[in-house]
Structure 1
């Protein structure tokens, strides 16, 4: 059987979230909590929305790393790119942000069911959806990080990162932020001291390195 052309694969990724029932929507409770919080405390206008997986969700005191920026933290669960797309119209688009910062893709590959190329296709679906809804917003992607507990997926992570970098390089008002170099030691291996005991989620030391690299990219 011939492979579907990329344009059709992207279209399927875009349409799929809208065909799901409520029972098929993971992390729905977290998304509703965001919406409730917005009613209680209106979010800032013209802000920078950070979204994606647990690397964003667990970034404690995110705003304090960028004290002169208006930050809105909307990371959830252990989300995949397809799930960020699923909820984009609820946790990204309504805020009309000036910039969208995404960290996702690592969990897609770590399921063992998505290759780097397939993860890239998911990324394109998300990007095109956000760009259509927010044509003036800067779109920033943080590269998939080298988590020690997921060494077996490093080759596919590299494929996804390279394809996303190349793709964004051809788009207007986009940024690919490569945080991998500051997370590696002289031996080119992940620095253990940056990670929690699970060798997956980061300690403040890891986020400090992220902030140093990411700061100049924020609007």
Structure 2
């Protein structure tokens, strides 16, 4: 193996641990399946760019810079998470709580470790009254490498503590039901999801946070999501989001009144 091939192999190995904006597509991404020797210079640059911005701070940087300060009396709400949050739709769209003015700061494929690193930029700096945190499923899927339940809890606790230190009220969401990940064949996550949610519910009660229980409302007998609610078993369909929306709005109202 040449020195260049060795370096590219290391780069590919490291990048495979990071997840991508659509982690489930990595199996067919040519950057991940190509032999190191076959990569073109622009492909190498793309991999280097992914490594240089692991938490994807650039994703919302320009939107954040254009965002005005909250108006007097405005109770700004940030929805913060991964693809399930991003899938609500962009701020101001008809699919994302029309006329509510909520901000969407979800990034597909992200784990709690990545979200913790961008929490100051994508939540605190936006001066919301409430943040709705939904995360953990990609950690269970291993998108950025193995993660124990304790590691996931630590990251979520740190986000909560940062929010509280800045006077931001927190809605802590359960992980959505999931019995299989299309991009992780053979993994059976339902029990891990239940265990994490039980811990998050207990923590929310201890910290007097609003707990948003999507799992109880959406789960089937297998601990997953029916196809009508999530075609791939993970990402909600419009029908899935329609069931989630009133739960989220009620949780936000409860946090604002708390």
TM bucket by the smaller chain?
0.7 to 0.9
Alpha-carbon distance between aligned partners in 1 of 2:80 and 2:222, rounded to the nearest angstrom = 31
Runs of 4+ in 1 over 6 A off after TM superposition: none
Aligned to 1:147: 178
- Aligned-pair distance for 1:117? 2.8
Aligned to 2:159: 126
Specify whether residues 26 and 217 from structure 1 end up closer, same or farther in structure 2 by C-alpha distance, changes over 3 A only: closer
TM-score normalised by length of structure 1:
0.77
Aligned to 2:244: 210
Give 2:206's match in structure 1, choosing from 165, 170, 175: 170
> Is contact 2:178-2:224 (8 Å) kept?
no
Quick one: higher RCO (CA 8 Å, sep 6+), 1 or 2? 1
Aligned to 1:77: 108
Alpha-carbon distance between aligned partners in 1 of 2:132 and 2:59, rounded to the nearest angstrom = 19
Q: After superposition, where does 1:39-50 map in structure 2 within 5 Å? A: 39=66, 41-42=67-68, 44-45=70-71, 46-50=75-79
Alpha-carbon distance between aligned partners in 2 of 1:69 and 1:31, rounded to the nearest angstrom = 20
Instruction: Please give the secondary structure, in 2, of the residue aligned with 1:164.
Output: helix
- Aligned-pair distance for 1:116? 2.3
> Is contact 1:179-1:210 (8 Å) kept?
yes
> Is contact 1:148-1:192 (8 Å) kept?
no
Aligned to 2:134: 103
Aligned to 2:148: 115
Alpha-carbon distance between aligned partners in 2 of 1:118 and 1:124, rounded to the nearest angstrom = 10
TM-score normalised by length of structure 2:
0.66
Mind listing any 5+ residue stretches in structure 1 that lack a counterpart?
A: 1-21
- Alpha-carbon displacement from aligned partner over 1:79-136 (angstroms, at most 9, x marks no partner): 111211101111100121111001111111110611223211221122112222x22x
Alpha-carbon distance between aligned partners in 2 of 1:186 and 1:24, rounded to the nearest angstrom = 40
Aligned to 1:13: none
Specify whether residues 201 and 33 from structure 1 end up closer, same or farther in structure 2 by C-alpha distance, changes over 3 A only: farther
Aligned length: 191
Mind listing any 5+ residue stretches in structure 2 that lack a counterpart?
A: 1-50, 182-186, 254-258
> Is contact 1:82-1:122 (8 Å) kept?
yes
Specify whether residues 69 and 115 from structure 1 end up closer, same or farther in structure 2 by C-alpha distance, changes over 3 A only: same
| Mapped pair 1:159 → 2:195 | yes
- Aligned-pair distance for 1:200? 1.9
Higher CA-based Rg? 2
